[in-house]
């Protein structure tokens, strides 16, 4: 017979039963974690950010996964303080995930006493603030889990939608939850090409965004996204409306949540790249030390079709600065810089040198696949080496990771095969016939 002591839940089983970042299957490699960490930093920590507690919780988890345990504890502590300040209360169900993170952290660091203390705090909160009988979790738990999954991985987006819907159904007065929910629907539609022909779904999302914007007028990021979708659907946008929104955005603290990046892309798509670039430079004049704005401007210079010497110099200067500002997530930026050097009369050797340095790095499969694809494009467009380009498209395609870059390389190879004008057609045909399929969902790169 099992003794009473043996029948008691162990510390490990209690930890596994918690709802927190350590139990949400948030497993990614260092490359993805560093990029996500930089994205969270770019969101900003200005006062009034209603997701600040969630941001600090996720940053704490990422810091732990990257090996920075002291930073992790600091961020978890900041998360608790942020939640209490935003909710204007010393405790509440929003602290369940935070205390769960701290219980896990102390357990993993070997301090089982503190871990047990935080487990006791979780139990006390759950008894004081139980979830409604018809729901498995509390609304605050659903909301934070939804926001975290939304930020962490595209293959968990549908799950995040479900959690947001449950949270909003329980507490519809939390307008920021609804705003993030409709933005998630918008992004899922934008990146899922199978849905692009579904005009009814797009109209439904547009209406949800309109309602959310009316309920949450302070969310300028939502307002700009709503403007963007209206323009995309062919609606004629009043210039005064754009000008008013631009003024509000430029007055706000510069961050990836300010809406400026989307507003810049509205100008790029529906006015000109030059006007969009001017707007980015104006923002940079107002916030000269803001790295996120430099990131926005650098992207625009990359899209100028035939840049003059001054534009190229500015693009190269910005990209070099970004590499130093994002030292742990600069792979894409280094490739962009190499491509910019390749467009100059004096930087071609430097471009090839940079690519060779990148090709010699020990990269994760997804990063290596992206590099092979981009190097193939560079070989074809800048080096005029079609056969070497084909070889690197093959290298990208044979990595069993489903992504835009793999699909692009396969598409190029199929096109070469179908044209029957290249001496490698037979080799390409055999390669494609033996290429295994991938089932992993897309991971988008920015």
Instruction: Quick: pLDDT tens for 200-234.
Output: 888 999 999 999 999 999 899 999 999 999 988 88
Other beta carbons within 10 angstroms of residue 15's beta carbon come to 22
Residue of 135, 137, 132, 126 whose CA lies nearest to 103 = 126
Backbone φ and ψ for 372, nearest 5 degrees, come out as -60, -45
Percent over 90 (pLDDT), the chain? 67
Alpha-carbon distances, residue 70 vs 20, 62, 66, 118, 247 (angstroms)? 19, 12, 11, 17, 40
Cα separation, 385 vs 379, in Å, equals 5
Rounded to 5°, the CA angle 139-144-148 comes to 150
Task: pLDDT band for 198, please (50, 70, 90 cuts).
Answer: confident
pLDDT at 8: 53
pLDDT at 40 over 90: yes
Which structural domain range is residue 106 located in?
9-128
Rounded to 5°, the CA angle 286-291-297 comes to 75
CA atoms within 13 A on the CB side of 201: 13
Q: What is the pLDDT of residues 398-422, one digit of tens each?
A: 999 989 999 999 999 999 999 888 8
Higher pLDDT, 44 or 388: 388
Q: What is the pLDDT of residues 256-314, one digit of tens each?
A: 888 888 898 888 888 888 888 889 999 999 888 899 999 989 988 888 877 888 989 99
Q: Determine, yes or no, domain membership for 262.
A: no
Higher pLDDT, 305 or 243: 243
The answer for residues whose C-beta is within 8 angstroms of residue 415's C-beta and 6 or more apart is none
Cα separation, 179 vs 340, in Å, equals 38
Task: pLDDT band for 135, please (50, 70, 90 cuts).
Answer: confident
- pTM for the full predicted model: 0.89
Q: Determine, yes or no, domain membership for 436.
A: no
The answer for residues whose C-beta is within 8 angstroms of residue 358's C-beta and 6 or more apart is 331, 334, 335, 338, 371, 375
Q: What is the pLDDT of residues 64-106, one digit of tens each?
A: 999 999 999 999 999 999 999 999 999 999 999 999 999 999 9
Cα separation, 443 vs 378, in Å, equals 22
Cα separation, 42 vs 293, in Å, equals 10
Cα separation, 46 vs 52, in Å, equals 8
Residue of 201, 190, 180, 21 whose CA lies nearest to 96 = 21
pLDDT at 383: 95
Q: What is the pLDDT of residues 161-179, one digit of tens each?
A: 999 999 999 999 999 999 9
pLDDT at 438: 67
pLDDT at 34 over 70: yes
Q: Determine, yes or no, domain membership for 87.
A: yes
Higher pLDDT, 33 or 49: 33
Cα separation, 362 vs 326, in Å, equals 19
Q: Determine, yes or no, domain membership for 207.
A: no
* Contact assessment for residue 297 and residue 318, using Cβ atoms and an 8 Å cutoff: yes
pLDDT at 443 over 70: no
pLDDT at 445: 33
Q: For residue 113, give the CATH number of its domain.
A: 1.25.40.10
Q: Determine, yes or no, domain membership for 16.
A: yes
pLDDT at 123 over 90: yes
Q: What is the pLDDT of residues 352-382, one digit of tens each?
A: 999 999 999 999 999 999 999 999 999 999 9
Task: pLDDT band for 193, please (50, 70, 90 cuts).
Answer: low
pLDDT at 22: 97
The total number of structural domains in the chain stands at 1
pLDDT at 63: 97
Buried-state track 380-403, b at ≥16 Cβ within 10 A, e below 16: bebbeeeeebbbbbbbbbbbebbb
Rounded to 5°, the CA angle 215-97-38 comes to 75
pLDDT at 5 over 50: no
Strand, coil or helix: 418:
helix
Task: pLDDT band for 48, please (50, 70, 90 cuts).
Answer: low
Segment among 43-57, 210-224, 384-398 with least mean pLDDT: 43-57
Task: pLDDT band for 439, please (50, 70, 90 cuts).
Answer: very low
The answer for residues whose C-beta is within 8 angstroms of residue 225's C-beta and 6 or more apart is 183, 186, 209, 259, 262
pLDDT at 441: 40
Q: Determine, yes or no, domain membership for 224.
A: no
């Amino acid at each position: 017979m099992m003794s009473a002591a043996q029948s008691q839940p162990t510390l490990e089983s209690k930890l596994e039963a918690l709802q927190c970042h350590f139990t949400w299957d948030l497993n990614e490699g260092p490359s993805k974690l560093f990029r996500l960490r930089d994205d969270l930093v770019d969101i900003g920590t200005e006062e009034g950010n209603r997701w600040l507690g969630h941001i600090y919780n996720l940053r704490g988890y990422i810091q732990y996964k990257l090996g920075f345990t002291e930073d992790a504890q600091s961020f978890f502590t900041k998360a608790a303080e942020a939640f209490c300040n935003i909710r204007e209360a010393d405790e509440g169900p929003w602290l369940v995930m935070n205390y769960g993170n701290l219980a896990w952290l102390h357990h993993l660091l070997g301090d089982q006493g503190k871990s047990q203390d935080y487990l006791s705090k979780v139990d006390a909160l759950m008894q004081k603030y139980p979830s409604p009988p018809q729901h498995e979790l509390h609304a605050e738990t659903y909301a934070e889990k939804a926001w975290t999954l939304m930020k962490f991985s595209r293959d968990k987006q549908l799950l995040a939608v479900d959690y947001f819907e449950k949270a909003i159904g329980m507490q519809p007065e939390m307008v920021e939850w609804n705003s993030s929910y409709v933005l998630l629907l918008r992004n899922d539609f934008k990146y899922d090409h199978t849905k692009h022909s579904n005009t009814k779904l797009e109209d439904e999302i547009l209406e949800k965004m309109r309602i959310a914007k009316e309920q949450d007028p302070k969310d300028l990021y939502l307002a700009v996204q709503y403007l963007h979708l209206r323009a995309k659907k062919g609606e004629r946008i009043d210039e005064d409306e754009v000008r008013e929104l631009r003024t509000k955005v430029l007055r706000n603290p510069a961050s990836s949540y300010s809406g400026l990046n989307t507003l810049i892309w509205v100008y790029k798509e529906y006015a000109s790249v030059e006007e969009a670039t001017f707007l980015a430079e104006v923002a940079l004049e107002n916030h000269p030390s803001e790295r996120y704005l430099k990131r926005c401007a650098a992207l625009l210079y990359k899209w100028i079709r035939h840049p003059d010497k001054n534009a190229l110099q500015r693009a190269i200067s910005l990209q070099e600065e970004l590499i130093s500002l994002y030292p742990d997530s600069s792979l894409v930026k280094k490739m962009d810089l190499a491509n910019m050097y390749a467009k100059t009369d004096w930087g071609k050797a430097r471009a090839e040198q940079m690519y060779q340095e990148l090709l010699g790095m020990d990269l994760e499969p997804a990063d290596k696949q992206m590099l092979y694809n981009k190097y193939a494009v560079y070989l074809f467009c800048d080096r005029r080496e079609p056969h070497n380009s084909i070889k690197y498209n093959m290298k990208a395609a044979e990595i069993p990771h489903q992504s835009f870059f793999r699909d692009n390389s396969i598409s190029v190879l199929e096109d070469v095969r179908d044209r029957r004008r290249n001496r490698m057609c037979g080799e390409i045909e055999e390669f494609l016939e033996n290429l295994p399929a991938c089932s992993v969902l897309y991971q988008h790169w920015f």
